[in-house]
């Protein structure tokens, strides 16, 4: 292995002078400010963006309502309350910016806090003689509008951050610790989802043998982790279960990383389970993860069904001219406008899914010979000769799927959910894949926004199961936001 000075010189911004702590561990004093520098940039961008959007929307509401002492007071309170609520909800935490559903959950909590605060102020103003309707309208319309604007602004910021991270910017250097299989899995996941902002640059295994794992250099064994943090300039240490890795060792590593601005994350070994199902339940100082069973019925799912139908009805109304135009274009080739296909829905019940016809009439009865590009039981062709010219355009922009809004209105589908499978696909399902049928299939979902037909069958099942096992309203909002960029990029759309 190279000497410490050689490795230090190989890392940009690394000082060749690394003094030691009293315990003998090197401390890269000159490098501490360099770690997580991208987080400060993201935080400043989020703060400025939120301030601009909240102030702009509030100013627009003031222009509509007219400048009076009451509205001016409410406007000023709205800006202060909304930005203060976002700060209290930790909406500017860099770890939550640009990836995951926590960002939008915190925005929602901040907006709710601001709405309550402004509503209380409106009551005070009303008691002082101000018109009551003005205060009520402001609290119920203007304040939520600032939250919606902030969410839209964050969506734009998220797209920009994701694009930058795909180019290697705004990423954190990760030192992976664990078995070769665990290191390879983490490396694959970070490469598959670069928007998360992690780049695995080195690995420490139980033996420290081998030159590399999945393209990640092996730099030492478990005893070398703390030293390799300094050598590699790691900003995150990701620890997975590994032979020889004890709680005592984890404690010692945490102590040695103190003051270095290095994140220590631990993989609990619970694959694809997160969010509201995990709770910490300590027993005599031992932190245990309590795993709650998933819920597929009840109030939250009933609310989801109502929202699905309301949004679908609004979308059909607003998009009526688009439906009419596409219907005319599809009808020009002499065939029917819509194509109905039997799919399997919740609890294994079949239903007729509606799409704009994108293939020649009778295409479902004739499949081209030879290999196809689909994964597992999925039949897909990148250049399918059965697709019509207008069908190519419809598929490119996912416009052929718009009539599925009628399925959402009818209750057989949801706006967000797993991909609706064909009956012959369900016949090949293993036990784990059948869990996709516990919820309604969706117009969009994790599978659709993560690559669609470019994914392997294993990844398709894994993403759908992640949605089923970890559903939450925040996850639905996140998927809907990502759907826009997925449609524009057309990745996996064919």
Pseudo-torsion of CA 359, 363, 366, 370, nearest 10°? 20
Q: Are 276 and 298 in contact (CB under 8 A)?
A: no
For residue 484, CA distances in Å to 155, 402, 408 come to 10, 14, 19
Mean pLDDT confidence for 457-486: 85
The chain-wide mean pLDDT, for the chain, equals 84
Q: What are phi and psi of 48, to 5 degrees?
A: -65, -45
Q: Are 138 and 78 in contact (CB under 8 A)?
A: yes
**Can you name the residues that pair with 283 across neighbouring β-strands?**
286
pLDDT in tens, 434-463: 999 999 999 999 988 887 667 777 888 888
Highest mean pLDDT pick, 121-130, 245-254, 341-350, 476-485? 341-350
Q: Say if residue 23's pLDDT is above 80.
A: no
Q: Say if residue 337's pLDDT is above 60.
A: yes
Q: How far apart are CA 494 and CA 491, in angstroms?
A: 9
Burial 454-464 (b: 16+ CB within 10 A, else e): ebeeebbbbbb
Please give the full DSSP string across 414-427, using - where no structure is assigned.
EEESSPPPPHHHHT
Q: How far apart are CA 460 and CA 378, in angstroms?
A: 10
Q: Are 265 and 238 in contact (CB under 8 A)?
A: yes
**Could you identify the residue written with the tokens 């602004």?**
153
Task: Take residue 225 and report the two structure tokens written for it.
Answer: 């982790």
Radius of gyration of the chain (CA): 26
**Could you identify the residue written with the tokens 């961008």?**
45
CB < 8 Å & 24+ apart, contacts of 345-351: 345/412, 345/413, 345/420, 345/437, 345/440, 345/441, 346/437, 346/438, 346/439, 346/440, 346/441, 347/437, 347/438, 348/426, 348/437, 350/423, 351/407, 351/412, 351/413
pLDDT of residue 460: 84
Nearest to 156 by CA among 450, 485, 487, 491: 485
Mean pLDDT confidence for 29-51: 78
Global confidence as pTM: 0.70
Specify the 3-state DSSP secondary structure of 441. coil
Q: Are 259 and 34 in contact (CB under 8 A)?
A: no
Q: How far apart are CA 111 and CA 269, in angstroms?
A: 35
pLDDT in tens, 403-418: 999 999 999 999 999 9
Q: How far apart are CA 172 and CA 38, in angstroms?
A: 8
Q: Read off the pLDDT band of 371 (50, 70, 90).
A: low
Phi-psi sector, 492: left (phi>0), alpha (psi -120 to 50), beta: left
Which residues of the chain are in CATH 3.40.50.1980 domains?
A: 171-267
Count CB atoms within 10 A of the CB of residue 166. Answer: 11
Mean pLDDT confidence for 48-57: 97
Between 437 and 8, the more confident residue is 437
- The lowest-confidence range among 57-66, 297-306, 351-360 is 297-306
pLDDT in tens, 276-324: 677 787 887 777 888 888 878 888 899 999 999 999 999 999 999 999 9
- The lowest-confidence range among 250-264, 348-362, 373-387, 405-419 is 373-387
Count CB atoms within 10 A of the CB of residue 231. Answer: 25
Distant-in-sequence, close-in-space partners of 433: CB < 8 Å, separation ≥ 6 = 461, 465
Q: Read off the pLDDT band of 6 (50, 70, 90).
A: very low
Q: How far apart are CA 107 and CA 99, in angstroms?
A: 13
Q: Which CATH class is domain 171-267?
A: alpha beta
Q: Are 110 and 81 in contact (CB under 8 A)?
A: no
The β-bridge relationship of strands 216-220 and 212-213 is: antiparallel
DSSP state of 26: B
Pseudo-torsion of CA 269, 271, 276, 280, nearest 10°? 0
Q: How far apart are CA 253 and CA 251, in angstroms?
A: 5
Specify the 3-state DSSP secondary structure of 136. helix
Pseudo-torsion of CA 269, 103, 480, 168, nearest 10°? -70
């Amino acid at each position: 292995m190279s000497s410490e000075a050689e490795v230090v010189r190989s890392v940009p911004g690394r000082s060749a002078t690394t003094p030691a702590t009293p315990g003998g561990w090197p401390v890269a004093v000159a490098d501490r400010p360099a770690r997580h520098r991208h987080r400060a940039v993201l935080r400043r961008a989020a703060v400025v963006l939120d301030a601009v959007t909240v102030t702009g929307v509030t100013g627009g509401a003031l222009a509509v309502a007219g400048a009076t002492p009451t509205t001016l007071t409410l406007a000023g309170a709205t800006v202060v309350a909304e930005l203060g609520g976002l700060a209290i909800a930790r909406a500017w935490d860099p770890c939550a910016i640009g990836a995951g559903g926590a960002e939008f959950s915190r925005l929602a909590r901040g907006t709710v806090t601001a709405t309550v605060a402004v509503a209380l102020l409106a009551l005070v103003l009303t008691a002082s003689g101000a018109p009551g309707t003005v205060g009520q309208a402001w609290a119920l319309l203007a304040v939520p509008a600032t939250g919606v604007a902030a969410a839209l602004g964050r969506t734009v910021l998220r797209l920009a951050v994701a694009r930058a991270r795909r180019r290697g910017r705004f990423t954190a250097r990760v030192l992976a610790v664990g078995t070769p299989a665990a290191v390879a899995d983490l490396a694959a996941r970070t490469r598959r989802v670069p928007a998360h902002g992690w780049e695995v640059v080195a690995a420490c295994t139980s033996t420290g043998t081998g030159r590399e794992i999945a393209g990640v250099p092996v730099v030492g064994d478990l005893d070398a982790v703390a030293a390799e943090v300094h050598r590699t300039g790691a900003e995150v240490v990701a620890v997975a279960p590994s032979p020889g890795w004890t709680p005592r060792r984890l404690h010692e590593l945490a102590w040695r990383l103190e003051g270095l601005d290095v994140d220590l994350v631990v993989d609990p070994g619970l694959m694809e389970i997160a969010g509201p199902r995990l709770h910490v339940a300590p027993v005599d100082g031992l932190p245990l993860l309590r795993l709650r069973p998933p819920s597929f019925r009840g109030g939250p799912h009933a609310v989801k069904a109502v929202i699905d139908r309301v949004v679908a009805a609004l979308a059909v109304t607003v998009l009526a001219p688009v439906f009419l135009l596409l219907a005319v274009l599809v009808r020009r080739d002499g065939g029917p406008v819509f194509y109905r296909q039997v799919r399997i829905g919740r609890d294994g019940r079949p239903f007729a899914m509606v799409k704009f016809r994108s293939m020649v009439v009778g295409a479902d009865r004739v499949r081209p010979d030879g290999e196809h590009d689909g994964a597992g039981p999925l039949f897909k062709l990148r250049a399918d000769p059965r697709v019509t010219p207008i069908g190519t355009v419809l598929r490119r922009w996912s416009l052929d799927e718009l009539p599925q809004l009628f399925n959402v209105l009818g209750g057989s589908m949801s706006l967000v959910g797993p991909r609706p499978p064909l009956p012959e696909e369900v016949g090949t399902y293993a036990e784990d894949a059948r869990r996709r049928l516990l919820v309604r299939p969706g117009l969009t979902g994790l599978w659709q926004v993560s690559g669609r037909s470019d994914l392997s069958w294993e990844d398709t099942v894994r993403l759908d199961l992640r949605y089923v096992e970890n559903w939450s309203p925040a996850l639905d909002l996140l998927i809907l936001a990502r759907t826009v960029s997925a449609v524009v990029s057309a990745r996996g759309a064919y």
